[in-house]
Structure 1
């Protein structure tokens, strides 16, 4: 009986999480479409497991200057997109850490990721997919157990 109740509780929790996640995605999409209607949009991201995940939207003009910036930062699905001030008029390709001192570390990293993404796209490259925090953890664990550099169990073969 306990196992059935546990399964039901987990299923309901998963359903609520899914529903709230869909609402958050809808909110993000609405803001993205709004910025996209004004011009090009550069997206920066900094996914994490135990800290606030951060997503940045930078709407830029034809001279690659930031006209409007928004961000979403939080641990839960209740995170909302907020206005990000202090970047207006700056060129995306020239953003540096010194320009971002008033922002927290995760937000700075997401903005610098947007710059990196912008530079890759401008040079004709393709942006690599960032693995989710859970996949990063799985990859770290897997790398501890796989054969790296011709070594097995810490000894040369």
Structure 2
């Protein structure tokens, strides 16, 4: 009986998580589409497992100048996008550390990621996928059980 209840609770939790994730994706799509209607959009992200994740959207004009900036920062799926100011009128590829002095550490990292992503895409490259927090944890566990840098030798007779 205990295992049946546990399976039901896990299934309900999975469904709820899926629905909230869907709502958050829909929210992201709405903001991305609004900005995309006015030009290119640069996206920066800073993922985290326990701490706040951060996502930035920069709407750029045809000269790659930031016209509008929005960010989403938080731990839960209830986090919403907010406008932020201070980078309007700057070219995305010309943002300097001094321009980021008024922002928190996580937002700075997401802005730098947006700049990096923009530069890679402009050069014709592809953006590497950031593994999910679960995949990062799995890789850490796997790393603990494997020896890096040790050559495997065959059996000697």
For the criterion TM > 0.5, the same-fold answer is yes
Alignment of 1:50-129 (within 5 A): 50-129=50-129
Distance 2:133 2:84 in 1: 24
In the TM superposition, residue 151 of structure 1 has moved relative to its aligned partner by: 5.4
Matched with 1:155 is none
3-state DSSP class of the match of 1:70? Answer: strand
Query: Which has the larger displacement, 141-150 or 125-134?
Result: 141-150
Distance 1:34 1:62 in 2: 16
3-state DSSP class of the match of 1:54? Answer: strand
In the TM superposition, residue 31 of structure 1 has moved relative to its aligned partner by: 0.6
Matched with 1:135 is 135
Segments of 4+ moved more than 4 angstroms: none
TM-score between both structures, scaled by the size of structure 2: 0.91
Aligned residues: 152
Q: Residue 37 in 1 paired to residue 64 in 2?
A: no
Unaligned runs of 5+ in 2: 153-157
Matched with 1:21 is 21
> RMSD value over aligned CA atoms?
1.3
TM-score between both structures, scaled by the size of structure 1: 0.91
Distance 2:25 2:84 in 1: 19
Distance 1:105 1:134 in 2: 23
Q: Note the alpha carbon deviations across 1:82-135, whole angstroms, 9 max, x for none.
A: 112111111110112221111111111000000000111111111111111221
